[in-house]
Structure 1
Amino acid sequence: MPPLSRFRGVVAGLALMSMLAACSRTTGGTATPGPSSAPATSSSGLPVPTVANPLPASLIQGDPCKALTDAQVKGLFTNTPTRDQVADDTGVAHACGWHDVDRGSLVMIQFVYAWKRGLADVYATQGRGGFFKVLAPVQGYPVVAYSPRDDRSRGTCGVAVGIADNAAFEADVQFANSAVGKADPCDDARKIANLALTTLKGGA
């Protein structure tokens, strides 16, 4: 499978994986929504980080193609990339990608509307055989890398950023063919998430 096609197939499944994990939880009794004084815990018992200074969830209800400015995108690619004409609705998220077909590189931002509990839905994927790694926060907002499988050796990584306890977005990266194996793509995905967060906060 060509690198870009493979990468799009992977990122299309990332948010879906977390949604299915969240839906597979079963509990008894009747749920009663209400405030909680303690952070939620994942199925593995790892505390889900709370967002100390939440941003409006409406920030990720818009167009993900506007999450990165032209100047930010230019700094991410060696050549001028092609941007998706319109955001794609994957069924769990609105996604927009920028890609250099010749070099095999791609950056994608996903506004995941399926994550009703923010990062708690991502943390629910732990223990299901996939890749999960907590990363350093960006601008004080929690970040986690996750995927159905660990594709870092192939230059692919996706990270989720919690902007509120009920909202999160995702940044995905596929390295250029010549860069695969030379660095950790999760580091770059985190940097892209940081750029997107700067843009989003500018519109808050």
Structure 2
Amino acid sequence: MHARAIMAFGALTALLVTGCGDSTVGEPNPTDNDNPDTSTTNEPDSDLPHSGAPAVKDPITDLRAFERDPCSVHPDNELAAAGFPVDTSEEELDASAGAVCSYILEGVRAGTFTVTLAQGERGGISHVYSVHQDDLIELFEEADDIHGHPVVIAAEHDRRDKGECGIYTGLRDDAGLDVQVTFSNEERSEHHDAPCDAAYQLAELGIETLRGDT
């Protein structure tokens, strides 16, 4: 993945889906050795949702299989059929925000995107609303739900005119799907002028996979 895209993704994801808590996916708790996967299936925190965030009415409760293989959320054949032909993909299972799959699209500088199963902070979409309330992000827009899952367009800086967008979809009150896209070359990417439309389409594909609709 291009270095600039990696840096932008890392900084933004850390802001949107990581809070002051120290619980992160991929970091074993020495007291939980007999049950290492409980953090992915526990009931959501009773304090969620907060900060004006909507509740996830039809939560996806078990994400463990996808956390072990985050690139399976967006299979290459489905991406190609949707207009996102992939050149390479790479997973990172121990990222602080959650399991990540990073993609480079076919074609020179055609674009990149990353998909994170965000559970590191366990604040879910409420955390995104919280950083918005604290004026820590420049871009925040609610979007249409995807199959009943709440969606927000959010970014530390609004760079939509440069082909960048981030969309966070609530999977459960304490977990979400974070999609970050970069289509920086207007001449080489059909998605440059509407990056949030592309990010929304990718989020929709991911939700359908996670729900078992495909």
TM-score, scaled to structure 2: 0.75
1:156-167 correspondence runs (5 A)? 156-167=164-175
Task: Give the C-alpha shift of residue 104 in structure 1.
Answer: 3.3
RMSD: 2.9
Which letter does structure 1 place at the counterpart of 2:152?
A: V
Note the alpha carbon deviations across 1:99-145, whole angstroms, 9 max, x for none: 13613311221111213021011111111243211111111100111
Q: Distance in 2 between matches of 1:153 and 1:61?
A: 32
In structure 1, runs of 5+ residues without a counterpart are 25-32
The residue that corresponds to 1:202 in the other structure is 212
The residue that corresponds to 1:58 in the other structure is 63
The farther-off stretch of 66-75 and 172-181 is: 172-181
Matched, 1:75 2:85: no
Q: Distance in 2 between matches of 1:148 and 1:184?
A: 18
Note the alpha carbon deviations across 1:14-39, whole angstroms, 9 max, x for none: 2211355x439xxxxxxxx9746xx7
In structure 2, runs of 5+ residues without a counterpart are 22-43
Structure 1 pair 34–125 and aligned structure 2 pair: CA distance change class (3 A): closer
Q: Distance in 2 between matches of 1:34 and 1:140?
A: 20
The residue that corresponds to 1:28 in the other structure is none
The farther-off stretch of 178-187 and 11-20 is: 178-187
Q: Distance in 1 between matches of 2:74 and 2:176?
A: 16
Q: Is the 8 A contact 1:153 1:181 kept in 2?
A: no
1:109 pairs, out of 91, 104, 115, with 115
Which letter does structure 1 place at the counterpart of 2:104?
A: H
Q: Is the 8 A contact 1:63 1:87 kept in 2?
A: no
Structure 1 pair 4–88 and aligned structure 2 pair: CA distance change class (3 A): farther
Could you tell me the percent identity over the aligned residues?
A: 24
Matched, 1:172 2:170: no
TM-score, scaled to structure 1: 0.78
Matched, 1:10 2:8: yes
Q: Distance in 2 between matches of 1:155 and 1:90?
A: 25
Q: Distance in 2 between matches of 1:80 and 1:187?
A: 18
The residue that corresponds to 1:187 in the other structure is 197
